[in-house]
Structure 1
Amino acid sequence: MGARAMSYNAYLSVLLIAATCCSLVIAYLCWKRRELPIAITYGLGVLTGAFYTFGYAFEVVSTSIEQIQFWLRIEYIGIPFGTILWFVLVLQYTGRQKFVSKWIVALLMIVPMITFISHNTNEWHHLFYSSMRLDYSEGFPLAIMEKGPLYKLHVAYSYSFFVVGMGMLIQMFRRATPRMKKQIAFMIIGSWGPFGFTLIYLSGFFYLPIDISPFGFLFSGIFYLWGIYQFNMLRLAPLALQKVFASMQDAVMVFDLDNVLTSFNQSAKRVIAGIDPNWIGQPAGQVFSQYPVLLERIQQGPSLESKIQISGPADQRFYNVHMSYIHDHAQKPAGKILLLSDVTEMVRSEEILRDNARQLSELNTFKDKMFNVVAHDIRDPLAVLINLIEIMEDDMQNGEEDHEEIVREMSQQIQNTFTLVESLLDWFRSQRGGMVFNPVERDLAHTVQTNLRMMQVRSESKQLEMINEIPMDTFVYADKEMLDLIIRNLLSNAIKFTAIGGTIRLQVAHQANAVVVSVSDTGEGMTSDQEKTLLKDAYPASSTGTAGERGVGLGLTLCKEFVHLIGGEIWFKSIPLQGTTFYFTMPTRPDASTKTSGL
């Protein structure tokens, strides 16, 4: 009977060697995907089983207590750590990666390390095995070991984590889609192999002369190998991850065929607000609840790359979106991958180019209009001057000496032409960046008085009363050239549209950190059509004054631009046949100015 028993043990040893080989094959498959943390955990777990089955294969054919003790030490290289590695695997598989840190894993390994050390030093303290002896009643040497307190601690610790981990898998199974349930079921059944066989052996319900626990690894190995090739169970480490997750700056999200999130990379956190590992296992409808355009893309299947806009934590971002299928080894769809590439800078560069093109188009339009306006407005005064010179020549030939009226008219035409050219040059300098913005504190009353003297000839020719009610020591913070141009243009317009004998009045009102300057006239006022377009048209048409004065219509455009640049606002009120009042604000302190850069 002893020879027959030893023959049975030899068969069992061969089976255990087969289980070891099965574990090594799985470990090799995991090593091929070693860039993924979950594959590393799984591979180390099956290696612990390989040590157990390999050692026990030789323990069952050992003939002395020394040989059995030696092979037990080989087994216990893996036995203490197997359960904790399996538990870490479950944490990763069920989307609880945040708990898998170096410190947590180190704490979980304290009891396994105590088990490993106490087993190898049992001869000194007998706390792991109280005693060990050989029993030949079965016809072959069988080690009978009395378990000590540290052995019981090891068993209680291992099964506590097995219960918790199994609860996590069952919870995941209950809320999973039908397609995922098959894979999770394989995970649950395969996990029961080592733990279930050990539980049967330790319970004592059945008389078993040998420890059947290692044969649980044979069961699990066969089961997992089937699952790997049937259901792609190494989707524990999804196929897409090994290609794109390592160093991608683009956001990558992986879904199964039921549109359930299975994984994502770190870059996805910059796109999808609040996403974290707990979202794994959630349907796309919940993941993209704030992003309907992404939900539509994942639901509609593979699509060509397209550009979308997404509101981020700080600003609006633009992304190129590409959705495609992931295929398994049989070229069957196994999932979906959503790729989001940030193209915000490219889009903004395109916008700048479009703005530049638009500005060039506007300037080109202005150029065409300016040619027409300038040709018309400069031609008229020059034609008048030519006629006046011809008249003077005829009068001189006829001996007439009174040329005062002709000279006065020539002076007026030359002044109009000079004002026209000056306005054009000012505008061109402002558009080409040639005008420097240098704000300083200015005496407003002094500036107004200086410009009134420059307008004296024109105002006296129309017998206008110019009233300056701005008190001295009224200071504003503005650029000298721009302030002069604003005052000069508003006074010029008031003179232009005020009939002979009218009145022009300048006043000021104080506000917080600003003053409101008003230029009022008693002219003809404006029509409703003029009010709608004034200060709004980029290139306003020229209007003729009460004495036939002409211009290019750029004065108010310059005023508006320069008032805004200084940090103020400009507006007007007009009553037909009663007059018009222009208002503009000027800051009184540097920090009250809203704009401080040049044109």
Structure 2
Amino acid sequence: MDSQLTMYITLVSVSGVFNAFLSLYVFFRRSEIPGARTFIIYTIALSIYSFAYAFELASDTLWKVKLWTVIQYMGMPFAAPLGLMLILHYLGWKVSRKGAAALLVVPSITWLMVATNDYHHLFYKVIRLKENLPSPLLDIEIGEWYIVHGIYTFSCLLAAAALLLSRWKQTRKSYRLQLFTLICGQLIPMVTAFLYLVGATPAGIDPVPMVMCITSGLYIWAILSIKMLTVIPIAKETIFDSMGEGVIVLDSAERLIDYNRAVGRMIPSLRPAMLGRTLDQVWTELTGASFPFIRQPDGSAEELAWTSNGMERFYEVRSSVLRHRNGEQAGSLLMLINVTELKRLQQELEHQAFYDGLTQIFNRTQFIRRGREMLAESLRLGNPFTVMLFDIDFFKRVNDNFGHETGDKLIVHVVSTCRRLLSADMLFARYGGEEFVLALPSSPLLDGSSIAERLRAELEAHPLLTAGGEIAVTASFGVAQAEIGRDETLDTLLRKADEALYASKRNGRNRVSEYAAQGPTPAMR
């Protein structure tokens, strides 16, 4: 056996020892290491591959070479798919039992093909020792299944490397050394195997088990120095990305350094290219304005409205400080919690509290609250303030004769008819049943009566159209003005308007009455 072959066997044996050490190390610390079982099986497969190949190189007969080749293939074809499963686990993607079994189908067939090759020659068409050489190098001709095995192995190695490379930009700098080590563990064997197949390595020698001495050494260094398997950053990032809450990470200079997928869904226009810019710069590019509120380090919440794809959403934004171990501020976190449904429920409840469910105008409670504020402001400024009450004439007959559904339609019809004549500064509300109220700030009694008359005439001119015909609509109105210089209240003013309303009813309905100092008087017909 020449010195060169001895060097090859030594390197291959060292690879086997390294992988055996990795397997034992992870086995004894399996409770601390995620995905330990996959890594143990992976390194055992590499150990079998390396040791068996070392014995193959040391063999002096074809029978021994074939025996160690069969043993070698108990590990070698399984290494690539097991490595892919290890990378998938590192990335945080769970491989099911069925998925794992599917990945191992081709390697299992490969081993069977090698073990029974003398009967079919589908893996090696020819396998013989080269003559007149001091070392037992092989002269082989590959068969059909060898090509299938090669394509599958390369695919697994390439897929694992591509998946790792795709996460390079998303991985924090402090964790990139781990990622680089794993990338090397996939790329080095793949490139070496390619060079072997194209004839760029010593003839008859498979260099892959030798270079695994390098990759296994890298793994040992990474595991012992940077806790490669104990701390799996990409799996942590997957957790970070799978959070339902959006998280934005800022450094001490308020620059955007990271965000998770939830934020990407919440704010689709946010792009990785914006990383490194300040929060205000990013927000200005997104919205044309700086970040909308001053963040509080105590975690107090602010509400952010964001419109995306024509839909408005609401997020509760909480800020917290990130600190180094020495207590210095390292940056901050912004957590965005989707409160859209809660906000809509709140708005719906507020709407129900403030608005009449049938007509969608203010209800009595909201009219009283706002009316008092408007009256107080008018009295303070010395402006006139008028209130109008009106109700639908003979409304009970409509309910009795046509049903409550038609009665509801009549109420809606009256509201829509009146709203066509009312301006935005007039406070219009349903006071109860078929009765309505209108507050007219800065309007004297005469103007209030004029508006009431226009409403009365409009209602009379527009009957309710139903499937059974027309239903005449009339209403009786009462108008009262707050007395300037007196401590008038809204309750008092409403009682005066109510007296004027009943004066209209007593006088034949479908008319407007004013409340004067001497009592209700007809205004006009």
1:55 has 2:9 as partner: no
Distance 1:161 1:319 in 2: 44
Q: Deviation per CA, 1:394-417, whole angstroms, max 9, x where unpaired?
A: xxxxxxxxxxxxxxxxxxxxxxxx
* 2:266 matched residue in structure 1: 272
User: Take 2:304 and 2:144, find their aligned partners in 1: how far apart are those partners?
Assistant: 60
Quick check: 1:306 aligned with 2:303? no
Name the CA distance, whole Å, in 2 between partners of 1:18 and 1:93: 24
Report whether the alignment pairs 1:73 with 2:70.
yes
Q: Deviations over 1:319-356 (max 9, x none)?
A: 4635565999x99999987655667899999999999x
Q: Does 1:251 align with 2:245?
A: yes
Letter in 1 for 2:77: P
Does the C-alpha gap of structure 1 residues 170 and 244 become closer, same or farther in structure 2, counting only changes over 3 Å?
closer
Deviation track 1:228-249 (CA, whole Å, cap 9, x = no partner) reads 5666655993288399679x97
Contact 1:119 1:128 in 2 (8 A): yes
CA–CA distance in 2 between the matches of 1:109 and 1:65?
29
* Change beyond 3 A, Cα 1:574–1:143: farther
Structure 2 Cα separation of the partners of residues 270 and 176 of structure 1: 17
Q: Secondary structure at the match of 2:206?
A: coil
Structure-1 residue corresponding to 2:117: 122
Any conservation in 1 of the 2:128–2:138 contact (CA below 8 Å)? yes
The answer to whether the Cα contact below 8 Å between 1:262 and 1:281 also exists between their aligned partners in 2 is: no
Q: Given that residues 8 and 210 in structure 2 are in contact (C-alpha distance below 8 angstroms), is that contact kept between their aligned partners in structure 1?
A: no
* Structure 2 unaligned residues grouped into runs of 5+: 355-364, 373-393, 412-430, 438-444, 450-455, 466-470, 503-511
CA distance in 2, matches of 1:256, 1:41: 36
**Cα distance between partner residues in 2 of 1:528 and 1:243:** 70
Instruction: Please state how far the C-alpha of 1:55 moved relative to its aligned partner.
Output: 3.1
CA contact (8 A) 2:297 2:320 kept: yes
Instruction: Call closer, same or farther: CA 1:82–1:321 in 2, change over 3 Å.
Output: farther
Structure 2 match to 1:237: 232
What is the match of residue 221 of structure 1?
216
Query: How far is the alpha carbon of 1:79 from its aligned partner?
Result: 2.5
2: CA distance, partners of 1:225 / 1:272: 42
User: How far is 1:128 from its partner?
Assistant: 0.3
Q: Deviations over 1:399-444 (max 9, x none)?
A: xxxxxxxxxxxxxxxxxxxxxxxxxxxxxxxxxxxxxxxxx98216
Q: d(CA) in 1 for partners of 2:213 and 2:137?
A: 22
CA contact (8 A) 1:310 1:317 kept: yes
Deviation at 1:273, TM superposition (A): 5.9
Match status 1:443 vs 2:397: yes
When normalised by structure 1's length, the TM-score is 0.48
Amino acid in the other structure paired with 1:76: Y
Superimposed CA distance per residue, residues 91-143 of structure 1 (whole angstroms, 9 cap, x where no aligned partner): 78789x79x89998877666545434322332321110123334585555555
Cα deviation digits, residues 53-74 of structure 1 (max 9, x gap): 2433443445554544344334
Give the drift of 1:217: 1.7
The alpha carbon displacement at 1:215 in A equals 1.8
For residues 137-148 of structure 1, the aligned pairs below 5 Å read 139=134, 141-148=136-143
The yes-or-no answer on 1:159 pairing with 2:154 is yes
**Cα pair distance change 1:511/1:86, threshold 3 Å:** farther
Among 485, 492, 495, the alignment partner of 1:542 is 492
1:205 aligns with 2:200: yes
Deviation readout 1:22-77 (Å, 9 max, x if unpaired): 542686599557667xx887776555434422433443445554544344334323
For residue 77 of structure 1, give the secondary structure of its aligned residue in structure 2. coil
Give 3-state SS (helix, strand or coil) of 2:205's partner: coil
Contact 1:132 1:146 in 2 (8 A): yes
Tell whether the 8 Å contact from 1:23 to 1:50 is kept in structure 2 after alignment.
Answer: no
Deviations 1:258-295 (A, max 9, x none): 8555866xxx489736699xx89984879987998xx9
Shift of 1:150: 1.7
Relative to 1, partners in 2 of residues 1:137 and 1:209: Cα closer, same or farther, differing over 3 Å? farther
RMSD between aligned residues: 6.7
2:122 aligned counterpart, secondary structure: coil
Aligned AA (1:77): M
How far is 1:206 from its partner?
Answer: 4.0
Distance in 2, Cα, partners of 1:174 & 1:140: 48
Please, what TM-score do these two structures have when normalized by structure 2?
0.53
> How much does 1:308 deviate?
3.5
Which residue of structure 1 lines up, in the alignment, with residue 15 of structure 2? 16
Amino acid paired to 1:306: S
Contact 1:132 1:145 in 2 (8 A): yes
Aligned partners of 1:303 and 1:324 also within 8 Å: yes
- Taking the TM superposition and a 5 Å limit, the aligned residue runs for 1:372-451 are 442-443=396-397
Residue correspondences, number? 422
CA distance in 2, matches of 1:286, 1:90: 34
Match of 1:416 in 2: none
Q: CA–CA distance in 2 between the matches of 1:233 and 1:5? A: 35
Q: Residue 214 of structure 1: CA displacement?
A: 0.8
Query: C-alpha distance in 2, partners of 1:124/1:242?
Result: 51
Q: Residue 15 of structure 1: CA displacement? A: 0.8
Contact 1:30 1:40 in 2 (8 A): no
